[in-house]
């Protein structure tokens, strides 16, 4: 899908369309004042003060009509450069523009763009004439706080998009529609995967039975993988004392992302935002020799983070989350190999889930920023080079982000694109030189001397929450057999004659551990089969006289119209194989 921000012409076109919209709004609401109207990935928006008016769908239509009229009129868009004083004079009745102008330095050139009766302060660039903004659509509107601050006034924001032709616009809108259909919040509701309730709180989803099945399968899946790679799993409390987080440094560096502390007797507790401190203590529980390393401590660990209420989103961005976390304690010499194993595991998992659209981002330090980064140039250079080497050896595609590393070390993240909204990070692997020092962790090396281990923080799924959100959108709610909440739907052709056989097959399958449903409602076969498809059940078993007489099974696979008849054994083999192959 086209990204309006990344293409020079589309960016110009969309920004010009934002001006066109502002002009139309001004015609309808002469007292309207405008704040900012940037281009975004999806198109554009403009924030405006309509003097207390709250927009409706009808307003959007009216504005759209007026825009068409102005565009047809075809006025040229003219740039004019003025001084700061001139600008202050020109916009003296507009507090929003004054606010913007005041941010300009003395002597800096300020530009304005005019089209017909409308002038706006703007850096540009713009297209030549409003005529070019012909193929647009106003997408939605919402309230938005002035400068994004909830203490400020609520402005009206209208979103829209503009493309060079009607065909491109309708194709784009179709794609937007498709994305909305894939939105995990919509599918989550339809398929009863998760819910929210105001009594529990924003960003605190409840996993319903269907969602819980998927989560449990994901847990089992990654647990088995990690077990084979030598991980040791633990359970630790989802609270810690303030002192624990003072020791780790989170209290000083991460406090704004944490829930406030609570007093219990004479101890101060916080809900944990991360599990690293607990795992440091697990390591420290006994002395270690170099022969014990690497030690890999894993946990499916619940964390709480403060996320702005406007930012929380379904399962993707939550305030209560469960990380697929692990901390690997390694010697300096082991960094490369362990890091490589983590990257391999990520690639392996993504292949199992058929995830193809992702980007590796290698976040490095900014060498000149001595403030932000832990000061040990040799350590940094060494580590950064090792990470690069691993990625090059494995021939994975990645991009480097200078200045994006954490204070304590470089990291590798996997970025994915949700159906709606900005990109998010799924997997992460972060090198850390600092935390082991803060917790005074040591091991005895081969010369009998004390050394400090290096820590790798890694989460393959990221959180089960975010991964599930992404997975729902990837598969569009059509889960593979091994993950599907209901795997098999058994339908007797005629309840009167075939229900008993259907029950027998149902019991057999359930007993073998399959998640199976028996549809014994008094409905027509064709109706029940259609419903089975609507519910996206991977395998529908249809049992009638023929099957009963020969002790066989007929089934249909989701997405196919073909009915296949096989023996019981063959059917069970088929199921087993499909689940093993995860397809």
Active site residues: 276, 305, 323, 325, 327, 411, 457
State yes or no: residue 363 binds ligand TSB (CB under 6 A).
no
Footprint of ligand TSB on residues 180-219 (CB under 6 A)?
none
Footprint of ligand TSB on residues 279-338 (CB under 6 A)?
305, 307, 317-318, 321, 323, 325, 327
CB of 276 to ligand TSB, least distance (A): 5
Helix (H) or strand (E) holding 460: strand 454-463
Q: Which is nearer to Zn ion, 185 or 457 (CB)?
A: 457
Q: Which is nearer to ligand TSB, 202 or 508 (CB)?
A: 202
CB of 132 to ligand TSB, least distance (A): 40
Q: What is the Cα–Cα distance from 365 to 371, expressed in whole angstroms?
A: 11
State yes or no: residue 247 binds ligand TSB (CB under 6 A).
no
* Binding track, positions 419-458, relative to ligand TSB; x by CB under 6 A: ------xx-x----------------------------xx
- Closest to 188 in 3D by CA, of 204, 211, 209: 211
CB of 363 to ligand TSB, least distance (A): 11
- Both tokens of 293, joined, read 């390393």
Footprint of Zn ion on residues 249-278 (CB under 5 A)?
276
Site size toward ligand TSB (CB under 6 A) is 20
State yes or no: residue 466 binds ligand TSB (CB under 6 A).
yes
Task: Phi first, then psi: give them for residue 315, nearest 5 degrees.
Answer: -95, -5
Q: What is the Cα–Cα distance from 300 to 302, expressed in whole angstroms?
A: 7
Q: What is the Cα–Cα distance from 204 to 201, expressed in whole angstroms?
A: 6
State yes or no: residue 296 binds Zn ion (CB under 5 A).
no
C-alpha dist (Å) from residue 10 to 41, 161, 349 = 10, 10, 37
Per-residue b or e along 445-478, where b marks 16 or more CB atoms closer than 10 Å to that residue's CB: eeeeeebbbbbbbbbbbbbbbbbbbbbbbbbebe
Q: Which is nearer to ligand TSB, 160 or 462 (CB)?
A: 462
CB of 348 to Zn ion, least distance (A): 21
One of 462, 477, 492, 538 touching ligand TSB (CB under 6 A): 462
Residue nearest to ligand TSB (CB): 462
Per-residue b or e along 12-36, where b marks 16 or more CB atoms closer than 10 Å to that residue's CB: bbbbbbbbbbbbbbbbebeebbbbb
One of 12, 157, 457, 466 touching Zn ion (CB under 5 A): 457
Residue 103's Cβ-count burial label (10 Å; 0-12, 13-18, 19+) is exposed
CB of 4 to ligand TSB, least distance (A): 26
Q: What is the number of alpha carbons within 13 Å of residue 511 lying toward its C-beta? A: 7
Strands (E), 306-453: 320-330, 359-364, 398-402, 411-416, 424-432, 443-444, 450-451
Q: Which is nearer to Zn ion, 319 or 457 (CB)?
A: 457
- Closest to 472 in 3D by CA, of 313, 324, 348, 346: 313
State yes or no: residue 468 binds ligand TSB (CB under 6 A).
no
Q: Which is nearer to Zn ion, 276 or 295 (CB)?
A: 276
List the single partner that 59 binds among ligand TSB, Zn ion, none, CB under 5 to 8 Å by kind.
Answer: none
Beta-bridge mates of residue 241: 269
State yes or no: residue 473 binds ligand TSB (CB under 6 A).
no
The span of 213-221, 393-401, 463-471, 548-556 binding ligand TSB (CB under 6 A) equals 463-471
Peptide bond into 125 cis (omega under 30): yes
Q: What is the Cα–Cα distance from 540 to 6, expressed in whole angstroms?
A: 46
> Which chain residues interact with Zn ion by CB under 5 A?
276, 457
**Which residues contact ligand TSB by CB under 6 A?**
274, 276, 305, 307, 317-318, 321, 323, 325, 327, 425-426, 428, 457-459, 462-463, 465-466
């Amino acid at each position: 899908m086209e990204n309006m921000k990344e293409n020079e012409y589309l960016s110009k076109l969309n920004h010009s369309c934002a001006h066109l919209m502002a002009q139309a709004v001004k015609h309808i609401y002469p007292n309207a004042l405008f704040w900012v109207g940037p281009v975004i990935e999806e198109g554009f928006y403009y924030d405006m003060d309509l003097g207390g008016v709250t927009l409706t769908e009808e307003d959007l239509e009216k504005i759209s009509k007026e825009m068409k009229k102005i565009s047809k009129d075809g006025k040229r868009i003219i740039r004019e450069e003025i001084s700061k004083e001139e600008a202050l004079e020109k916009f003296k009745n507009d507090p929003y523009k004054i606010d913007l102008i005041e941010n300009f330095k003395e002597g800096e050139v300020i530009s304005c763009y005019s089209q017909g009766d409308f002038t706006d302060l703007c850096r540009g660039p713009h297209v030549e004439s409003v005529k070019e903004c012909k193929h647009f659509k106003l997408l939605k509107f919402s309230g938005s706080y002035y400068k994004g601050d909830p203490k400020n006034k609520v402005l009206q924001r209208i979103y829209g998009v503009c493309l060079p032709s009607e065909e491109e616009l309708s194709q784009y809108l179709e794609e937007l529609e498709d994305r909305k259909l894939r939105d995990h919040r919509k599918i989550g509701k339809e398929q009863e995967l998760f819910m929210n309730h105001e009594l529990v709180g924003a960003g605190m989803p409840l996993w319903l039975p269907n969602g819980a099945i998927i989560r449990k399968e994901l847990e089992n899946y990654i647990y088995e993988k990690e077990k084979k790679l030598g991980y040791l799993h633990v359970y630790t409390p989802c609270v810690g004392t303030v002192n624990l987080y003072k020791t780790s440094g989170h209290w000083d560096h991460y406090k704004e992302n944490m829930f406030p502390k609570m007093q219990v007797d004479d101890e101060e507790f916080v809900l944990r935002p991360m599990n690293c401190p607990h795992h440091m203590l697990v390591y420290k529980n006994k002395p270690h020799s170099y022969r014990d390393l690497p030690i890999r401590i894993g946990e499916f660990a619940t964390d709480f983070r403060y996320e702005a209420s406007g930012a929380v989103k379904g399962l993707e961005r939550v305030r209560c989350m469960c990380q697929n976390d692990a901390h690997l304690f390694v010697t300096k010499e082991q960094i490369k190999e362990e890091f490589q194993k983590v990257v391999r595991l990520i690639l392996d998992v993504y292949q199992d889930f058929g995830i193809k659209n992702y980007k590796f981002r290698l976040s490095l330090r900014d060498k000149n920023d001595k403030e932000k980064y832990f000061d040990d140039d040799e350590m940094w250079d060494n580590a950064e080079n090792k990470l690069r080497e691993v990625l090059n050896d494995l021939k994975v595609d990645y991009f480097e982000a200078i200045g994006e590393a954490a204070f304590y070390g470089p990291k590798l993240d996997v970025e994915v694109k949700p159906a709606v909204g900005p990109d998010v990070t799924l997997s992460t692997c972060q090198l850390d030189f600092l935390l082991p020092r803060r917790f005074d962790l040591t091991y005895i090396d081969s010369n009998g001397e004390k050394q400090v281990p290096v820590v790798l923080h890694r989460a393959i799924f990221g959180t089960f929450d975010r991964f599930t959100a992404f997975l729902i959108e990837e598969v569009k709610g059509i889960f593979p057999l091994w993950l599907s909440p209901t795997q098999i739907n058994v339908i007797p052709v005629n309840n009167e004659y075939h229900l008993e056989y259907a029950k027998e097959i149902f019991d057999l399958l359930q007993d073998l551990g399959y998640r199976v449903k028996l549809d014994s409602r008094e409905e027509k076969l064709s109706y029940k089969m259609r419903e089975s498809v609507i519910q996206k059940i991977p395998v529908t078993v249809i049992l009638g006289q023929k099957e009963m007489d020969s002790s066989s099974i007929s089934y249909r696979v989701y997405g196919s119209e073909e009915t296949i008849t096989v023996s019981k054994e063959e059917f069970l083999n088929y199921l087993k194989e499909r689940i093993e192959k995860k397809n």
